[in-house]
Structure 1
Amino acid sequence: MRVTLCQCVLAIALVANLVILYYGSKLQKRIVHRHRDTSVRGASQQLPSHRGMGVTILIREFEDFENHVAEAVQSFLQQRPDQPILVVADRLPYPPLALPAAPNVQVVILRPSPDQPAYTSRPESYIQTDYVALVPDGVKVESTRQLDTMLEEIKVSKGKAHMVAAPVQSLAPLQCLDVKVSLREWTVTYSMATSSKLCSAVRGDAVVLLATKDFFNLSAPLTKPLMTSVFIQTSLRGWTVKILEEVSFPASHQPLFSSSHNQWKADNLAKASRAKLFNDFGIKWVVTEDERQQWYGCSKETPRCFGTVHDDTPEYLFENRWTPPCCLKALRETAKYVTNILETSGVRYWLEGGSLLGAARHQDIIPWDYDVDLGIYLEDIPNCEFLRSIESGSIVDEKGYVWEKAIEGDFYRVQYSETNHLHVDIWPFYPKNGIMTKDTWMDHKQDVDFPEHFLKPLVPMQFAGFTAMAPNNYKSFLELKFGEGVIENPEYPNPALRKLEKGN
């Protein structure tokens, strides 16, 4: 094949273009990387390295519509003009904050902008100090010694306290609290600490100082309400906070909110923020230090906290959690209500399956169970108006419970509400040659016939906060259903999918 001069020229031009594109691309990458590195360094260098002091002021919690952030910032700058200060907001504050135009004062917006580098929405990129002070809105500083004393204290307390807290002068003194967080049980419990100065959380307005690396190694360091969020996370890590009573910070002379309307708005936002925090952290039940109970899980008006159960293993077991406490509460209420209806109607019933196992083990529902099972005599169904009438359709009774015929077979179900489908299953049995049997069998190990003598007589048993009826000689009954040693050796419903860890 003969190559013409024109073809040679075109080939050379093509190769030259490819070489230019290759080296041009490499050069462009270098320029981009250099620009990015310079931008990051420029952002971080906007807050000079104050290794002598080593503290950055971080103001996180304030309301756009009214705040004292500018006054707080100015107060710190008056004592130390080069004080690094970081104001962190979810979105750009509006009306704008009237902050001093100083390179050591920065506002960081957590909401990423598609036209900005990632570091611009990460406050840790702007902090060059070893420590950070979490400062509430409206706090002022009177002397440089206040922060310096806190810094000295946290250094000498290393190993004993990860944080130090100085109170904000107000009517209420700081309370030292112990916090117990059980993610498995979806619960936070507060109690008064035995020490007045060293504990796992404080209640009240305070300036809290801790190491920058510790703060930003928390999984959600800037989640609001800030101190509630921080102390939940630090308590899970076993960290403690020390209260410095000899150091305090004055509050603004003016109230945070100048009108009752703004106070009302702030209170509602704080309530919503608290609910969102607990939802994000998977906390359904909070017990305060004065033993008040706060519920953040499902109710009669909301769906239950978990979806359809597959292979006898609810989704929360895969998250290393047990049944949400709001669900257990609803199941207890439903079980007590249903057994009371059955008793007053003259229907003989007994705890069945896992519910009887829970009564034997815990006098309660098994901590990871998701329904309650009752057995009844088939011949007693006409005695109960609800069971008798279900054949013509589901019934919502005056208490909002839903009675219905199960679509899976010949048994009945009572749901907590029309919205929340936590339920009690009612299984009709009938005697046949001294053996109790039924017409619908499920693919469960415990779903077997049993001698009627276990029901003659039925005996009272503590269950879920009330007295229920149960088979006599319940241990033999349970071992017939589940196998020998079932009470003493707890296990999840389907160990092939999820096994219960030893010691739980």
Structure 2
Amino acid sequence: MILTSKLTFSNLCSPFPIRKCLVLVVRDMRIKLTKIIAFLIVFINISLFYYSLRLFSYYHKIATGELTSTVYIENKPEFELKLLSSNKIPEKLISKLVTVVIREFETHDNDVSSTVRSILKIFKNIQIFILYDNIPYPPLKIISKSSNNSNLKQWNLSPSLDATRIISAHSIQKLLKKANEFKGTIIVSPVSGNRVLECFRLNVNTREWSLKYNIIKSSYCDAVNGKQIILLETELLKNLSHPFLLPFPSSLYIQTAALNVKAFILNTGMFHEGNSKFRTHHSKWKLKQINQERLKSLYKLLRIKLVVKEGKSEYYGCNRETPRCFGEVIDAMPVYLYENRWTPPCCLTHLKKTTKYVLGLLDQYGIRYWLESGSLLGAVRSGDILPWDHDVDIGYMIEDSDRCKWLQIAQNKSVIDNKGFYWEKVKESNQFRVHFSKINRIFVNLLPFVHKNGTMSRDSLFESSKNMEFPDNFLHPMSSIEFIGRSVPCPNNVRKFLENKFGKGSIEKPEYPNPKEKKFQTK
């Protein structure tokens, strides 16, 4: 290397004439340059061929489903959407996009194991979750030769896809295409061999604690009844407070309806029925009992106390053997008013029953009475109890008290009458209350008034609109008004009487019992 660096042009060409030496050097340099260029051309061609072949192989594997690159798919959502809109969605892409959740099945009689095997036979790598409240017994025997079961999880929820077969990948592909077509919608597929799915419109009224089902003839609805397969987005499940609550999918549809999420029913069933279950009379009876208990738990958790379906009303709140749905009332404001709710429908029903009973007794014993205060307001506005009221007020002449034996007894001690209603005297306010029962303290107020010097007044330690004095000419003569389905005595000139207690315009302008605590809200 050192010697070469010391050679000069004259020393190198000394044996040759200078012209020949120059020609030899130039020719030698041209040959070397030509070889280098030829080598580079061949190298570039080989490289281009190699990478073209790799790129072609890569796209071919993605298109056929042999390759689903996580980085590529997640960073290129438009490519994923393109695959969803194609005629055939790769099975591996389906396994990546879809998670199967098996929720509602009975531990004592189910077909879960066969259902899972039918799924794993087609989608070897699909994620499957089996959710239950109690460990299935006998244990589930889920063994699949086509899968290592690492993608199969069993979770005990302890606070539906049972007996269903997937026969081909086409059924899942069609569900995914519809989900891509109807964004933000639940996609529902019927299961072959079952009756036609029923489509319902749901009215979830939080303020009135109610849920109403109205059956409609449509494929686009709030809730679906019948054996079905459901496909929905994961983000929707995250927005639900109890996504897998039993009974499922009833609990799901109630929550999604509150979010105004619709369900779309496919025309034909793409899934087949599995082995039949509940074939004995005992198993059917047991299933019915279980479902009833689950419904009660569901409505209690979601704070639904009235369910109306096919014209029938079912109450899931308090009854005569349980306390009323709200506790002590402070400053005339029940706690549910602060929750932007009105009186629970079960409590209103019991209040109406108690009121009708008391009115009947007052008529029977010949006691002079009239509708008072907020109850009279409700009668004027709608002929009913105010929807947020928790009691009924009835005024009566104090000198008539001895005509009713239950009032006589209650003067000294509380008593349960022969119909189960509970009578008591409230000494502080010098009035009587008739409760629905001794346990359920929804009540009617009986307010005794004294006639003195042309004025009707109350003897009470408390001041309220119920105790306000008024001229006796409002009761001479008395009038009548429709209230809870019957005619009830009331003061004459009702408007003036109510405005004397509540102020001008009180009939047209609703207010809660204590407007200082909370203003009335229309919604």
Q: Name the TM tier (shorter chain).
A: 0.7 to 0.9
Alpha-carbon distance in structure 1 between the residues aligned to 2:467 and 2:321 = 33
Larger radius of gyration: 2
- Alignment-derived partner of residue 284 in structure 2: 263
- Alignment-derived partner of residue 167 in structure 2: 142
- Alignment-derived partner of residue 246 in structure 1: 268
Aligned-residue offset at 1:136: 2.7
For the pair 1:211 / 2:233, whether they are aligned, the reply is: yes
Alpha-carbon distance in structure 2 between the residues aligned to 1:365 and 1:275 = 27
Aligned-residue offset at 1:269: 1.7
Seq. identity, %: 39
Alpha-carbon distance in structure 2 between the residues aligned to 1:445 and 1:456 = 21
Report matched runs for 1:28-47 at 5 Å.
none
Over 3 Å counting, the alpha-carbon distance change for 1:65 and 1:407 in structure 2 is farther
Report matched runs for 1:182-201 at 5 Å.
182-193=205-216, 195-201=217-223
Report matched runs for 1:318-333 at 5 Å.
318-333=338-353
Aligned-residue offset at 1:144: 1.2
- Alignment-derived partner of residue 348 in structure 1: 368
- Alignment-derived partner of residue 422 in structure 1: 442
Q: Write the deviation string for residues 182-207 of structure 1: whole angstroms up to 9, x where unpaired.
A: 111000000012x4211111111111
Report matched runs for 1:50-129 at 5 Å.
51-52=93-94, 54-100=97-143, 101-111=148-158
- Alignment-derived partner of residue 277 in structure 1: 298
Aligned-residue offset at 1:468: 1.5
- Alignment-derived partner of residue 121 in structure 1: none
For the pair 1:166 / 2:186, whether they are aligned, the reply is: no
For the pair 1:303 / 2:323, whether they are aligned, the reply is: yes
- Alignment-derived partner of residue 367 in structure 1: 387
Alpha-carbon distance in structure 1 between the residues aligned to 2:224 and 2:94 = 28
- Alignment-derived partner of residue 336 in structure 2: 316
Alpha-carbon distance in structure 1 between the residues aligned to 2:94 and 2:226 = 30
* RCO comparison, higher one (Cα < 8 Å, 6+): 1
- Alignment-derived partner of residue 81 in structure 2: none
Which 5+ residue runs of structure 1 have no aligned equivalent? 1-48, 113-134
Bigger Cα displacement from structure 2, 308-317 vs 323-332: 308-317
Aligned-residue offset at 1:258: 4.9
- Alignment-derived partner of residue 334 in structure 1: 354
Does the CA-based 8 Å contact 2:111-2:275 persist in structure 1?
A: no
Q: Write the deviation string for residues 256-305 of structure 1: whole angstroms up to 9, x where unpaired.
A: 235433333322221111100000010000001x1111110111111100
Does the CA-based 8 Å contact 1:76-1:141 persist in structure 2?
A: yes
> Which of 395, 399, 403 is the aligned partner of 1:379?
399
Alpha-carbon distance in structure 1 between the residues aligned to 2:162 and 2:152 = 16
- Alignment-derived partner of residue 200 in structure 2: 177
Aligned-residue offset at 1:456: 1.5
1:225 alignment partner, SS class: coil
Alpha-carbon distance in structure 1 between the residues aligned to 2:388 and 2:415 = 29
Does the CA-based 8 Å contact 1:377-1:429 persist in structure 2?
A: yes
Q: Write the deviation string for residues 163-194 of structure 1: whole angstroms up to 9, x where unpaired.
A: 1111123442101100000111000000012x
**Residue identity in the other structure for 2:401:** I
- Alignment-derived partner of residue 42 in structure 1: none
**Residue identity in the other structure for 1:326:** C
Does the CA-based 8 Å contact 1:332-1:465 persist in structure 2?
A: no
Does the CA-based 8 Å contact 2:192-2:269 persist in structure 1?
A: no
Alpha-carbon distance in structure 1 between the residues aligned to 2:158 and 2:308 = 33
Alpha-carbon distance in structure 2 between the residues aligned to 1:98 and 1:141 = 18
Does the CA-based 8 Å contact 1:441-1:447 persist in structure 2?
A: no
- Alignment-derived partner of residue 26 in structure 1: none
**Residue identity in the other structure for 2:173:** D
Q: Write the deviation string for residues 410-468 of structure 1: whole angstroms up to 9, x where unpaired.
A: 21111101111100010111211111012125232453100111112222211123221
Alpha-carbon distance in structure 2 between the residues aligned to 1:248 and 1:355 = 57
- Alignment-derived partner of residue 37 in structure 1: none
- Alignment-derived partner of residue 294 in structure 1: 314
Bigger Cα displacement from structure 2, 440-449 vs 56-65: 440-449
TM-score normalised per structure 1: 0.81
Q: Write the deviation string for residues 371-405 of structure 1: whole angstroms up to 9, x where unpaired.
A: 11100011111222222332242232221111222
Bigger Cα displacement from structure 2, 421-430 vs 75-84: 75-84
Does the CA-based 8 Å contact 2:457-2:467 persist in structure 1?
A: no
Aligned-residue offset at 1:249: 2.0
Over 3 Å counting, the alpha-carbon distance change for 1:441 and 1:51 in structure 2 is farther
Does the CA-based 8 Å contact 1:174-1:202 persist in structure 2?
A: yes
Bigger Cα displacement from structure 2, 53-62 vs 437-446: 437-446
Which 5+ residue runs of structure 2 have no aligned equivalent? 1-90
Does the CA-based 8 Å contact 2:191-2:269 persist in structure 1?
A: no
Alpha-carbon distance in structure 2 between the residues aligned to 1:324 and 1:204 = 30
Does the CA-based 8 Å contact 1:351-1:374 persist in structure 2?
A: yes
2:487 alignment partner, SS class: strand
2:501 alignment partner, SS class: helix
For the pair 1:226 / 2:273, whether they are aligned, the reply is: no
Bigger Cα displacement from structure 2, 93-102 vs 431-440: 93-102
Does the CA-based 8 Å contact 1:446-1:482 persist in structure 2?
A: no
Does the CA-based 8 Å contact 2:94-2:173 persist in structure 1?
A: no
Alpha-carbon distance in structure 2 between the residues aligned to 1:261 and 1:240 = 37
